[in-house]
Structure 1
Amino acid sequence: MARRSASAGSGLAPWMGVAVIVILLDQITKLIILKTFAYGEFHRITSFFNLVLVYNRGAAFSFLSSADGWQRWFFTALGIIAAVVILWLLKRHSGQKLFCTALSLILGGALGNVIDRVIYGHVTDFLDFHLNNWHWPAFNAADTAITCGAILLILDELRRVKRGK
């Protein structure tokens, strides 16, 4: 089944609104952590969750974080390219609510992390989930939005495939 075109939807405004909300939530939470915590400082919230201030100079799971600095601009450029592609997809498919919600979450998250890379040279992470001594890599609200968007893209595709049968 073909995806509906932009003419079937209400345009980019609602999807840009979702992305802007994600960016604002991401940047506000990062500023709160930056103003409240020293680097490496953590506060235990529950038996499985801490707030901690750490910096990620790489990508997901600190991939390439120990490189010589080129990764800052590489991941910044990658985020901007992804944003341009997502904007094109949003414009083309603005009438598809689940698909566009997913893309908007990814867009907002990507741009939230691009802002960090441009301003600070790294991404600020602060959400630390753990089980005993095993810690999931720390992440932030932008990463959460990107992950939720990716899950929604998978659900959208599964629904599309199911309708096509």
Structure 2
Amino acid sequence: MTVRWTQRYPRWTWLVAVAILLALDQASKSFFSTTLALGESVPVTDWLNFVHVLNKGAAFSFLADAGGWQRWFFIGVSTLVVGAVSVMCLTQEVGPLDRWVGAFVAGGGGGNLVDRVQIGAVVDFLDFHWRGIHWPAFNLADVFVVCAALVWCIASMKAPPRQPKPQKTAEELHR
């Protein structure tokens, strides 16, 4: 029986997945930022608009009006998170699910990090709404990170309980 390439080379698979997710995010942001004027909104359905907005803050525009220091703060936080996840996925023996979740975190976090470094804000283009109530606009990178967090939370609730390591007796310690 042959082992699939993705199983033989999990780290390369991870790098390819991150690159694909990052490319999808950046391509979609580029498309909407060149197709729509800043602030423009195009209705798609009764509950979805495509928009072109810039978010200088974090989720839900948290700290968006903080005066500029937040750009460097979010660049630092993003670098730490994407870096730590990348190191774990590339150097440690992690399970396939953890590696895929890590790819989505690194791809999404990296996509928003690229925006913050290049233009000082994150390009958002998806605007869901219902009866005049709008969810804050977001992008594919946000979708990747949120889906990864949800999968990780669900998986952690279903994980089998860990068996405690047996304690060594004093006699075993002195051998």
Taking structure 2 as the reference length, what is the TM-score of the superposition? 0.84
Higher RCO, Cα 8 Å, sep 6+: 1
After superposition, the CA RMSD in angstroms is: 1.6
**For each residue in 1:78-106, what CA deviation from the matched residue of structure 2 results, as whole angstroms up to 9, or x when unmatched?**
11100111012213134x11111111101
1:11-22 aligned within 5 A: 11-22=10-21
Indicate the residue corresponding to 2:93 in structure 1: 93
- Partner Cα separation in structure 2 for residue 68 and residue 13 of structure 1: 40
Residue 46 of structure 1 aligns to a residue in which SS?
coil
2:34 counterpart of 1:35 = yes
Indicate the residue corresponding to 2:169 in structure 1: none
1:11-160 aligned within 5 A: 11-90=10-89, 91-94=91-94, 96-160=95-159
Count of matched residue positions in the alignment of Structure 1 and Structure 2:
156
| 2:63 maps to amino acid | L
Moved over 4 A (4+): none
**For each residue in 1:98-155, what CA deviation from the matched residue of structure 2 results, as whole angstroms up to 9, or x when unmatched?**
1111111011000100000010010000000011111100000100100111111112
| 1:21 maps to amino acid | I
Q: CA deviation at 1:163?
A: 5.5
Inter-CA distance 153–9: structure 2 relative to 1 (3 Å threshold): farther
| 1:41 maps to amino acid | E
**Greater Cα radius of gyration, structure 1 or 2:** 2
| 2:32 maps to amino acid | I
Q: Which runs of 5+ in 1 are unaligned?
A: 1-7
**For each residue in 1:38-86, what CA deviation from the matched residue of structure 2 results, as whole angstroms up to 9, or x when unmatched?**
1110111111000000000000110000011010011011111001110
Identity %: 36
